[in-house]
Structure 1
Amino acid sequence: MPAADAGPVGNVTLIPGELPRIRLDRPAKRNAVNGPMAERFTELAQKVVDQGAVAAVLEASGPVFTAGADLVDLDDGARAVERMIDCLLTLPVHWVAVVRQPVLGAGMAFLAAVPLVIATPAASFALPELARGFFPASMMTGQAQSLGLRAAYDLAFSARPVGAERAHALGLVNAVIADEHVESHVAGRVALLHQCPRAEVLLGVTSWQAAVRPALQRAHHPPATPAHSTSPTPARLEGP
């Protein structure tokens, strides 16, 4: 197996191969996204394109797939999330997200940006912001497109996670596969792509990106408490 490209900074790893894998690899911070992480992700995603891959896996190490934006620096975290979403919606790659852990907050926007999401039974999905004092208004257009209007707002108003099977029923994930069978399932799905004309697969990727881009242009972590609110500034939710 080719050596992984981990790099000294950024906490994102590229595992090259016939099916390249980009791994969010900042487990101590729950894979919360900051500027260096987004920069590294963009660099490695471009390497995937340069290597001629049609498809690539997006996965994560640690107990959380991603907690969304790193709120240690609010503005930096927001820009970092937007940069990664832009990368997912721009490069000619059919992304396959493999989710084995909880996905929180703005991390949900990453899933909305990719055409194939495979979850294991251990995965869960949440927009928990309201429980901490603010509503994730800036994310809702993208989530409504992904889940449907009522389901998206129910998820946001409840602020509670849904499990993998419920997420599948809502259309957030394409399939729920036992962890021991995930790799073979993903390999089979990608093999089907490789049987098709490359140009047509990439045309499909472009079509997908054009369809979801408008709703995700503003998909990032919620803004700070509005000026008219009497609530205290909410505690950090998505970051470590």
Structure 2
Amino acid sequence: MSMEATSPVKAWLEREDSLLRVRLARPKANLVDAAMIAALRDTLAQYRRHSMLRGVVLDAEGPHFSFGASVEEHLPERCAAMLTSLHALIMDLLMFPVPVIAAVQGQCLGGGLEVALACGRIVAAPGAQFGQPEIKLGVFAPAASALLPYRLNQPTAEDLLLSGRSVGAEEALAIGLVQAVADDPVAAALAWFDQHLFAKSAAALSCALVGARGVMQRQVPERLAELERLYLDWLMRTHDAHEGLAAFLAKRTPAWTHQ
């Protein structure tokens, strides 16, 4: 393992150094908090110039991929730093020079789903659940707002973002949120790498990925900047954003004023 045992992320190379394995390692929640984001960014930076690399498989220890971001880090005094770091991670994943495959089991929610959305292919276990529940807390999901319209279509993206509902693996497959459902999503992700990426040229894959994602890679940074301003300069000035977060932490029903 290349990361310290205490790190929230484990990383190693396999398959003749052609595949980077990255694992979220703070079960059961695997929160996408400041420590997790920093460790993921460090890992991606460490391996992004590895000349033999043809793919990445991102998975997670425990029964769940990720419960999402830390609600405490959404509080007004911390949310600007949280958004900046999370969005930098999203761009690291979108700009990574080889395909990234996410293997998901259990809950994949909020910031955890945003991380998966920034990967390419998503493989889900049959019991996986996907959702952006931020709206239930009186806030919204900036990165998912930028990414979901690319991965789905506009009405379906709005359905998930405005309802905050979770969808199971089969519905996620049907709407295009995930690309495969498998009893063992890690094994399925590795098999897809072995069949489709291992024999390819790393240089050709990198160029093909830029070609496929060119418009997305240009537009998403601009969208993320716009969405950060919307979140910080408008949303966080509303009563309901503060009330929703406080109610969640106090385990009570929020009292909306609709302002």
TM-score by length of 1: 0.83
Match of 1:37 in 2: 36
* 2:165 is aligned with 1:160: yes
Q: Counterpart in 1 of 2:8?
A: 11
Which of 219, 223, 230 is 2:231 aligned to? Answer: 223
Moved more, 139-148 or 206-215: 206-215
Code of the residue aligned with 1:37 in structure 2: it is M
CA distance in 1, matches of 2:46, 2:238: 46
Residues 111-164 of structure 1, C-alpha deviations (whole Å, 9 max, x = no match)? 222221111112110111222223436632321221211111111222221001
Q: Distance in 1 between matches of 2:135 and 2:119?
A: 25
1:98 is aligned, of 95, 103, 107, to 103
Structure 1 stretch displaced more, 182-191 or 196-205: 182-191
* 2:253 corresponds to: none
Relative to structure 1, the CA distance from residue 212 to residue 40 in structure 2 (aligned partners, 3 Å threshold; closer, same or farther) is same
The 5-angstrom pairing of residues 9-158 of structure 1 reads 10-18=7-15, 19-27=19-27, 30-51=29-50, 52-73=52-73, 74-136=79-141, 139-158=144-163
- Structure number with greater CO (CA < 8 Å, separation at least 6) is 1
Question: The residue matched to 1:20 in structure 2 has which SS?
Answer: strand
The count of corresponding residues between Structure 1 and Structure 2 is 232
Q: Unpaired runs of 5+ in structure 1? A: none
Distance in 2 separating the partners of 1:26 and 1:75: 24
Match of 2:245 in 1: 235
Render the CA deviation track for 1:201-234: whole Å, top value 9, x for unaligned: 1112223443433236519899364424456532
Q: Kindly provide the amino acid, as one letter, of the partner of residue 131 in structure 2.
A: A
Q: Which structure has the larger Rg?
A: 2
TM-score (norm 2): 0.77
Secondary structure (helix, strand or coil) at the match of 2:244 reads coil
Alpha-carbon distance in structure 2 between the residues aligned to 1:75 and 1:34: 13
Q: Give 1:78 shift.
A: 1.7
Q: Aligned-pair RMSD on alpha carbons?
A: 2.8
Pick the structure with more helix per residue.
2
Give the CA deviation at 1:39: 2.3
Question: d(CA) in 2 for partners of 1:9 and 1:235?
Answer: 29
2:61 maps to amino acid: S
1:8 deviates by: 5.5
